[in-house]
């Protein structure tokens, strides 16, 4: 019987997804859990696996098209009387990793069918599952040297293990700053201005007149969704802003003193951001109303303190989440930031990495900003930006002194929060960072 495959729910508040690539064609035979297509949203790129074994009979949505959650994307003729689940919540879940089960199913196809797939399409070799990437990194293997035996030449976990056993030219060991494999880096490169289509004659796009020589760049699904959510945040949440300036001279001196030993012992750089996040989570315990959301005619105060952090790539801005940040030491927060930043830039974020944020800390100071008015990360109640630390002359006891100063900028949802509680919250954060020095512990 024909089974409908629907666009799955790819995360909280996600309402649509874009078919970025089909991995199958009509007439192809698939096993249950075999990947059917790649779907991209503003939160994550995911593979949609088959919920049944059978034959692809029709692809309804072409590559590059964006459809709503629950929309029909293809049909599968199920074998042996199987009944596929035809709704997003019931279908096999979309995944960011490729479980061994799916990889093994691709390997255990009938030899003739596998050979046919390999002869038709070798594009799968450039697509690596997280399991394959992890093995390649562990054994320092250049995946371009590995022969794939999966569908379309896809490199599977068994292929990598076989390569290791045969000792076929492992790549030289690299340092902890190893980047993603070449194919992955190429896949995540953004569209540049040079890749835009130059207009030869005057055109009208909506209310905009496009003149000859102008370039038009298609908006990616990520950028389109970011735009939609920013507009939603500005329209639904009445934004207000406030700012305090903190003296972080002692923090700067302490961090500069221990950063080299920290990097040598822990294997990662100690930035200022973990200190500010630590101060924020401690202040959220004192003022939990800032750790809340607006729910129609009610306010929901979250029990967990999960800090969203903004991580910028050349293509877009992503906001992964540090779960239970209030339970972590500064070292723990630093490790979480490093892990999420690396996964973002290597295009390895999972749905879980992106979900559950209750308050956002934005490190705009990393690119030199000294004051900003960030847009609230909907549906959270507030977002705080940590600006650049600058040295300034200030008056202390009627004398001029040079001190390290930083602006802490807070955007708030005025439906939930007022200036009084936000002012007290910022003063609490300020007091905490001003008292960070050699008397504290980072462990």
Map tokens 């129609």 to a residue: 296
Q: What is the CA radius of gyration of the chain?
A: 25
Instruction: Name the region of 351 (left: φ>0; alpha: ψ -120 to 50; beta: rest).
Output: alpha
State how far the Cα of 124 lies from the Cα of 117, in Å rounded to an integer: 10
By three-state DSSP, how is residue 204 classified? strand
User: Given 304, 397, 414, 437, which residue is catalytic?
Assistant: 414
Closest residue by Cα to residue 3 from 72, 67, 100, 65 = 72
Q: Give the list of residues 6+ apart from residue 30 with CB closer than 8 angstroms, or none.
A: 24, 36, 50, 53, 54, 55, 56, 76
Q: Can 235 be counted among the known catalytic residues?
A: no
DSSP structure class, residue 218: P
Compute φ and ψ for 396, nearest 5 degrees: -130, 120
Q: In the structure, how many helices (H) and strands (E) does the chain have?
A: 11, 23
State the angle between helix axes of 330-345 and 273-286 in degrees (0 to 180), rounded to the nearest 10: 120
Exposed/middle/buried for residue 439 (C-beta within 10 Å: 0-12, 13-18, 19+): exposed
Q: Can 260 be counted among the known catalytic residues?
A: no
Handedness of CA 308, 312, 317, 318 (dihedral sign): negative
Instruction: Name the region of 414 (left: φ>0; alpha: ψ -120 to 50; beta: rest).
Output: alpha
User: Given 100, 168, 304, 418, which residue is catalytic?
Assistant: 418
Q: Give the list of residues 6+ apart from residue 17 with CB closer than 8 angstroms, or none.
A: 7, 8, 10, 39, 40, 41, 66, 67, 69, 221
Joined tokens for residue 309: 């952090």
State how far the Cα of 207 lies from the Cα of 40, in Å rounded to an integer: 28
Catalytic residues: 414, 418
């Amino acid at each position: 019987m024909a089974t409908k495959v629907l666009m799955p729910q790819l995360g909280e508040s996600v309402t649509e997804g874009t078919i970025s690539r089909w991995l199958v064609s009509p007439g192809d035979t698939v096993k249950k859990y075999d990947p059917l297509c790649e779907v991209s949203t503003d939160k994550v790129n995911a593979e949609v696996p088959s919920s049944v074994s059978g034959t692809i009979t029709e692809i309804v949505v072409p590559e590059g098209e964006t459809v709503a959650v629950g929309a029909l994307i293809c049909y599968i003729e199920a074998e042996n009387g199987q009944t596929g689940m035809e709704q997003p919540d019931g279908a096999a879940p979309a995944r960011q990793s490729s479980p061994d089960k799916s990889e093994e199913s691709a390997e255990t196809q009938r030899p003739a069918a596998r050979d046919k797939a390999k002869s038709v399409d070798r594009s799968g070799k450039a697509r690596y599952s997280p399991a394959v990437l992890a093995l390649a990194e562990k054994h320092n293997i250049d995946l371009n040297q590995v022969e794939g035996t999966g569908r379309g030449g896809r490199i599977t976990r068994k292929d990598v293990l076989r390569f290791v056993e045969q000792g076929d030219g492992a790549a030289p060991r690299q340092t902890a700053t190893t980047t993603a494999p070449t194919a992955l880096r190429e896949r995540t490169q953004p569209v540049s201005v040079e890749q835009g289509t130059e207009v030869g004659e005057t055109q009208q796009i909506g209310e905009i007149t496009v003149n000859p020589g102008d370039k038009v760049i298609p908006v990616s699904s990520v950028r389109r969704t970011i735009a939609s959510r920013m507009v939603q945040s500005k329209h639904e949440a009445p934004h207000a802003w406030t700012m305090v300036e903190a003296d972080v001279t002692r923090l700067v001196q302490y961090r500069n003193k221990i950063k080299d030993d920290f990097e040598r012992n822990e294997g990662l750089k100690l930035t200022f951001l973990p200190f500010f996040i630590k101060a924020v989570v401690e202040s959220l315990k004192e003022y939990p109303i800032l750790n809340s959301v607006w729910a129609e005619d009610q306010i929901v105060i979250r029990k967990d303190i999960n800090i969203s952090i903004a991580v910028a790539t050349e293509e877009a801005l992503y906001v992964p989440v540090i779960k239970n940040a209030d339970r972590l030491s500064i070292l723990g927060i630093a490790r979480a930031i490093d892990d999420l930043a690396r996964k973002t830039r290597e295009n390895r974020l999972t749905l879980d990495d992106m979900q559950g944020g209750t308050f956002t800390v934005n490190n705009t100071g990393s690119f030199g900003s000294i004051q900003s008015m960030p847009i609230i990360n909907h549906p959270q109640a507030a977002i705080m930006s940590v600006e650049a630390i600058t040295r300034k002359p200030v008056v202390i006891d009627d004398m001029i002194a040079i001190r390290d100063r930083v602006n802490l900028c807070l955007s708030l949802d005025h439906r939930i929060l007022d200036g009084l509680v936000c002012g007290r919250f910022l003063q609490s954060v300020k007091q905490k960072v001003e008292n960070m020095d050699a008397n504290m512990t980072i462990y």
